[in-house]
Structure 1
Amino acid sequence: MPSILQTVKRDNEGYLLNPDDWSETLMEQLATEQALVLSAEQRSIVLFIREYYEANATVPEARKLLKYMREQWGEDKGTRKYLYQLFPHGYAQQACKMAGMRKPLKLMLDV
């Protein structure tokens, strides 16, 4: 049985071409592909991106994500430094990719 990653269309960097193809199973496979085992906090961020996208048809800018992180986990974890601890290759490059987003045209997402 082929993995979901083999059946969805992606660009040359691995971003989904159609965000509607996303599922939590696919999120896990994308994380594995990036050598990550998702923690509860990483999963929460990816699901926040999905919820924001579904409500607004756009990816949240990093400042909105940082506000969410402060509200969820406090001031010391609502920082760019902590976001990079969770996603060392960057918000757009890892979190948005695992949330099934297309590659952002502008990198206002990265902090």
Structure 2
Amino acid sequence: MMTLEYAGKIIDTDNEGYLLEPEQWNEEVALQIAEGESLEMNEERWQIVRIVRDHYEHTSCVIELRKVLKSLKEHSGADRATRKHVYNLFPYGYGQQACKIAGMRKPLKVLLDL
């Protein structure tokens, strides 16, 4: 187990840096996780992270990539709603980086990328 520190609080993560308690997430924590992933958060990355968080807050489940793509298409157009675009933003994968930055627990299945 590893930890992050935010505002004097210790936040537990698993050995890969995924939060153990997604409820401890906030945008400052996301910035720390992104820094650890060597990613600078820009508006396009934030958009995907916010889609993941919004879905989680309504369902307590992690959203699959195909549903993220559908949301991107509705809000940003078809040119941004592609797997290639998401992987350009998160080169190690949607489940490995976008979900981690969004404060999700490590997915038990990597079906998120389907």
TM-score of Structure 1 vs Structure 2, range by shorter chain: over 0.9
> Please, which runs of 5 or more residues in structure 2 have no aligned partner?
none
Task: State whether structure 2 residue 77 is matched by structure 1 residue 80.
Answer: no
Where relative contact order (Cα < 8 A, 6+ residues apart) is larger, the structure is 1
- Cα shift at 1:3: 3.5
Which among 4, 7, 17 is matched to residue 6 of structure 2? Answer: 4
> What residue is the counterpart of 1:26 in the other structure?
29
Structure 1 residue runs of 4 or more that deviate by more than 4 Å after TM superposition: none
Q: How many residues align?
A: 110
> What residue is the counterpart of 1:94 in the other structure?
97
Q: TM-score, normalised by structure 1?
A: 0.93
Please report the RMSD computed on the Cα atoms of aligned residues, expressed in angstroms: 1.6
Q: TM-score, normalised by structure 2?
A: 0.91
Kindly provide the CA deviation profile for residues 69-108 of structure 1, in whole angstroms up to 9, marking residues without a partner as x: 1112111110011110111100010000001000000111
Q: Identity across aligned pairs (percent)?
A: 47
Specify which structure has the higher proportion of strand.
2
> Please, which runs of 5 or more residues in structure 1 have no aligned partner?
none
